[in-house]
Amino acid sequence: MEKPNIVERKPAIITLEAGTYHWCHCGRSATQPFCDGSHHGTEFVPKSFTISETTKVFLCMCKYSKNRPFCDGEHKELEDK
Ligand code: FES
């Protein structure tokens, strides 16, 4: 199974306005934490999610969260990846 690139070992803490977003799962996007299409040719696809009102979010940047696109603290367990 292909592994995603670890972008950072901490979440991206950002405030998003209402709308639909496409979180980068592969870790290759130049527009982190969002998809820029760089996953083409990999087994990864972006995770789409919708925000209904302006919200501060913690988006996963290690790409190993089990609660994608949100951080679940998994980056603290990544020493061997
Ligand atoms: Fe990473 Fe699209 S660029 S999922």
Element (H, E) at 74: none
* Residue of 46, 42, 59, 29 whose CA lies nearest to 3: 42
Other beta carbons within 10 angstroms of residue 7's beta carbon come to 18
What tens digit of pLDDT does each residue of 30-73 get?
999 999 999 999 999 999 999 999 999 999 999 999 999 999 99
What tens digit of pLDDT does each residue of 7-28 get?
999 999 999 999 999 999 999 9
Rounded to whole angstroms, the Cα distance separating 70 from 72 reads 6
Residue nearest to atom 2 of ligand 1 (CA): 35
Confidence of residue 81 (pLDDT cuts 50, 70, 90): low
Does residue 79 carry a pLDDT above 80?
Answer: no
C-beta 57 within 6 A of ligand 1: no
C-beta 25 within 6 A of ligand 1: yes
Cα-to-centroid distance, 32 and ligand 1 (Å): 9
Rounded to whole angstroms, the Cα distance separating 73 from 28 reads 21
